[in-house]
Amino acid sequence: MLGKLIKYEFRNTAKVMLTLYLFTAAVTAVGSLVLSMDFVQHGTGNITDVLTIATMLVYILAVFALFVVTYIYMCIHFYKTMYSDQGYLTHTLPVKPLTTFHVKLLVSTIWILLSCLLLIASVFTLLIGISRGEILAEIDSSVFERFRTFFGLSFGQFLAYGGVSVLLSCLNYLLWVYASMSIGQLFGQHKIGASIATGAILSIISQIASTILMVITGYSTALLVEEASRYSDQTAVSIFGNFMNSSMIYNIIYILILYVICNVIVRKHINLD
């Protein structure tokens, strides 16, 4: 059953997502091509400027859209299939509601991570275009060493760190909306309004809690900046690292709380109109 659920969840979301990816790929290809052209790179004058700026603008908008659309589509899809008319089908399938919920969370996370990978690939392609392929020549055995001196982290560390942060914020944003919608559907009327209000309230609570937590752990932003300016670069990086750690721990706690809210409601309090 689990396999079937995952299969259908992917199948039902694939059309929109693949269209979106195709669109991003097309914009990237065109952008990379335009920016690599001779008269764009060496030309002067208004037309060149306008073309460069317009290309960059369209590109940035497209990448932005990639994320916004992925995220919003995942949220709408979740609401539609869990708590609106289609929920009647979802919740009468012979599957535990919690399993359905996990599958939706998993598939949405995978799509968002895929969007991230696509973004990295896209930026890289654009850089290849701008540098006319020279960036590829730059990649040699010393690239990791240079990376380390530049960021103060090894490439592996950076990947692990980046990967975990992206995963956490992805879960954070998804569960924030899922929890808001799950609480919202408990209301007899105006479920969508209640979901939005819940989302706002949850966000405010989390802001307050995170601020308090930051102050307590002594890594408030002000402190960080002050500390950072006082010490050498190397120490700044390690303070930055600590800050990241404590914010990660906070993030994990927040995610767990949101998950527990979803878990309890999905298991025991489904309340379809």
Partner 1 sequence: MSTLLECKDLTKAYGKKPAVEHVNLCIESGHIIGLLGPNGSGKTTLIKMMNGLLMPTSGELYMREAPIGVESKKHISYLPDHTYLNMNQRVNDIIRMFADFYEDFDSLRAYDMLAKLQINPEDRLKTMSKGTKEKVQLILVMSRRADLYILDEPIAGVDPAARDYILDVILSNYDPEASILISTHLIADIENILDEVIFIQNGQIRLVSSVDEIRQKEGKSVDALFREVFKC
Judged by CB under 8 A, does residue 91 bind partner 1?
yes
Q: CB-based contacts of 70: which residues, under 8 Å, 6+ apart?
A: 17, 20, 111, 112, 115
Q: Please work out the total of residues on this chain that contact partner 1, with binding judged by CB under 8 A.
A: 22
Judged by CB under 8 A, does residue 86 bind partner 1?
yes
Binding span for partner 1 by CB under 8 A among 53-61, 83-91, 191-199, 246-254:
83-91
**DSSP character string of 208-266:** HHHHHHHHHHT--HHHHHHHHHHS-HHHHHHHHHHHHHHHHHHHHHHHHHHHHHHHHHH
Interface pattern 103-142 for partner 1 (x via CB under 8 A): ----------------------------------------
Please report how close the Cβ of residue 114 comes to partner 1 at its closest, in angstroms: 22
Of the pair 57, 72, the CB lying nearest partner 1 is at 72
Interface pattern 183-222 for partner 1 (x via CB under 8 A): -----x----------------------------------
Judged by CB under 8 A, does residue 76 bind partner 1?
no
Among 96, 132, 146, 230, binds partner 1 (CB under 8 A): 96
CA pair distance 92, 4, nearest whole angstrom:
15
Judged by CB under 8 A, does residue 269 bind partner 1?
yes
Specify the residue for token string 């919003």: 72
* Rounded to 5°, angle at Cα 136 from 131 and 139: 125
Calculate the CA 80 to chain-centre distance.
Answer: 21
**Other C-beta atoms within 10 Å of 53: how many?**
10
Please report how close the Cβ of residue 139 comes to partner 1 at its closest, in angstroms: 44
Question: Both tokens of residue 33?
Answer: 């091509």
Q: CB-based contacts of 99: which residues, under 8 Å, 6+ apart?
A: 1, 2, 5
Which residue, among 197, 241, 204, has the nearest Cα to 219 in the 3D structure? 241
Among 44, 45, 46, 92, binds partner 1 (CB under 8 A): 92
Of the pair 95, 224, the CB lying nearest partner 1 is at 95
Judged by CB under 8 A, does residue 263 bind partner 1?
no
Contact residues for partner 1, defined by CB under 8 A: 1, 4, 8, 12, 85-89, 91-97, 188, 268-272
